[in-house]
Chain A
Amino acid sequence: MSDVVLAGVSVAYDGAPVVCDLDLSVASGEWLALIGPNGAGKTTILRAIARLVPFRGAISIGSRALTELSSREVARQVAVLVQEPQMPVGMTVSQYVLLGRAPHLGYLGKESARDRGIVRDVVRRLSMEELASRPLDRLSGGERQRAAIARALAQQAPVLLIDEPTSSLDVGRQQSVLELIDQLRREQELTVIAAMHELTLAGQYADRLALLVDGRLAAVGLAAEVLTERAITEHYRAQVRVIQMNGSGTAVVPVRN
């Protein structure tokens, strides 16, 4: 089981509170989208769950407290896809994906044939075999995003945290990346927590949405419940029309008066 539970979680950077007393639970295999205006604390929550930032309160994964785990154990439970993954110049796709095996190796350990086999399977699963020996700096934006997903998958962690998975992609590639994440989630029974700024896409792909405002939870629930004209106008200071589309989700459309 890999449900993620946050109870009374607060995070402060240099004394300034960024996330305040947050309660949130994500079921095993669920996709939860964190939405909210810039600076609401979405990234910070992801960093806390990956234990990249100190926090107060309790976070547990699969009923084990995060603070009881070693950093390697955390890395075996939680894989992180940061918003702008660093793509080291000259590093091949294979080598990059192989780094995902780090949590399964000892400090000075070496990758085994099994580790290399897992990398091969992941690269094959994402149809990147042709790109395996290509340096990362010669990939397109969409290919880079797939390489980053492959590295996270090689980690074989049941929880996948994603920060703005589609921020630099065109609408077609946004859809294909999100479809890929959704397929992988179902195949591998991953729990996905993703910070997303495209509200319509968030509503279409996530099971539930959590709306954050100033580090606090303003609403959590299904897309139709959270994405209301009133909530978006109030918290995003945006002029929008929310349209319920039969069977294909909730569309949030900006309007200009």
Chain B
Amino acid sequence: MTATVAVSVVPERPAALAGMPRLPWTWAAAGLFALVICCAVGVLVGPIHIGVGAVLQALVGGQVDPGQANILWSLRFPRVVLGVLVGGTLAVSGAAYQGVFRNPLADPYLLGAAAGANLGATLAIAFAPGTSLLGVNIVPLAAFVGAGAAVAGAYALGRSVTGLRSATGLILAGVAIAAFFNSIQSYVQQTQTASIRQVYSWILGRLVTAGWDDVLLILPYVILSAAAIFVHRRLLDALTLGEDEVTSLGIPVRRVRLIVVVAATLGTAAVVAVAGTIAFVGIIVPHAIRLLIGRSYRVVIPLSMLFGAAFLVLADAGARTVVAPAELPIGVITAFLGAPFFIAVMRSTRAAAL
């Protein structure tokens, strides 16, 4: 009997160190899978039954009933794509704000983006209903301008007071600007009672689309915003250190903060312009990922994109079916599904990592 002993003559490569930050590929694959499933649900759910076969045929350009093809291409596909963009952007912007402001309660609307968008949209609905500018409905444009103006105002105010040394100054400035914009919005809303219902439905958020217009309108901003935040994920990790410590590592803290805030705001403004203010996605998605998977922004940012998109598409499918043929505001669904889910996650992880 001969025993063979394998003798390694090749010098072993030193083993990689445990605990290095990396995106677990199983979770990335799970996120992609969830996104695909949710998109399929979003496309298949609707008042008119369209089978999986017809959907696949339509996607590859095969033979489909013209009526069904029309429903798919002008209603369901654009709506699902819009849901992907809106959900991914809200979740990533929320994660980015939480990182920059080191505040777990930061959401994409923190610096007044929602108040500004609501005011812009209210003004447009009340005083210029049905108007369009360069072929685009004026309501999302007004909302976009309003959101941008509110955040720029908060930024200018925060900068003049604290010189951006502290994130708290910026948050307080955002609170003040939001309160001011909200008061004007309430005033306009109360005095223009004819449009109050339309204003409310806008504020509660929805993904009603007229074909691909909204998708194309926000696509450039959403891509720019997501890409800018994505490339800063290593620096967002560094920002979790103390101010002196990050600076002593040669990292330009203020520049990182400025770029990430601008990027997250741009994406939020674009999204809120077409979908209204959809609550909760920007908070629960990143936090669920932190609790269940990992806290490094190399994990949180990419997975927030995938799971945020999947969650919103699913919530929208719910919003369309729960009280069909009527539609619920999607914000109602995100909070109704999101809150219990988040409570379950917090309880199951015993909030050890909070």
Q: Does A216 contact B (CB under 8 A)?
A: no
Point out the residue from A74, A98, A117 that lies within 8 Å of B21, measured CB to CB: A98
Point out the residue from A50, A93, A98, A105 that lies within 8 Å of B248, measured CB to CB: A50
Q: Does A248 contact B (CB under 8 A)?
A: no
Q: Does A25 contact B (CB under 8 A)?
A: no
B-contacting residues, A71-119, CB 8 Å: 71-76, 78-80, 82, 85-86, 88-95, 98-100, 102-103, 105, 107-108, 110-111, 116-117, 119
> Which has the most chain B C-beta neighbours within 10 Å: A73, A80, A86, A132?
A86
Query: A47-B244, A82-B244 known; A95 and B250 CB under 8 Å?
Result: no
Distance in Å from the Cβ of B22 to the closest Cβ of chain A?
A: 10
B251: chain A residues within 8 A (beta carbon): 71, 102
Q: Does A133 contact B (CB under 8 A)?
A: yes
Interface size of B in residues (CB-CB distance below 8 Å): 30
SS of B interface (majority): loop
Distance in Å from the Cβ of B346 to the closest Cβ of chain A?
A: 15
Q: Are B250 and A76 in contact (CB under 8 A)?
A: yes
B252: chain A residues within 8 A (beta carbon): 71, 107
Q: Are A85 and B249 in contact (CB under 8 A)?
A: no
A102: chain B residues within 8 A (beta carbon): 238, 249-251
Q: Does B20 contact A (CB under 8 A)?
A: yes
Query: A99-B238, A108-B232 known; A90 and B290 CB under 8 Å?
Result: yes
Distance in Å from the Cβ of B24 to the closest Cβ of chain A?
A: 13
B244: chain A residues within 8 A (beta carbon): 47, 50, 52, 80, 82
Q: Are B19 and A82 in contact (CB under 8 A)?
A: no
Q: Which residue of B lies closest to A101 (CB)?
A: B249
> Which has the most chain A C-beta neighbours within 10 Å: B234, B241, B250, B295?
B250
Could you show 14 A-B contacts with beta carbons less than 8 Å apart?
A50-B248, A52-B244, A73-B250, A75-B249, A89-B295, A94-B17, A95-B296, A103-B250, A108-B232, A123-B17, A129-B18, A132-B18, A133-B19, A155-B249
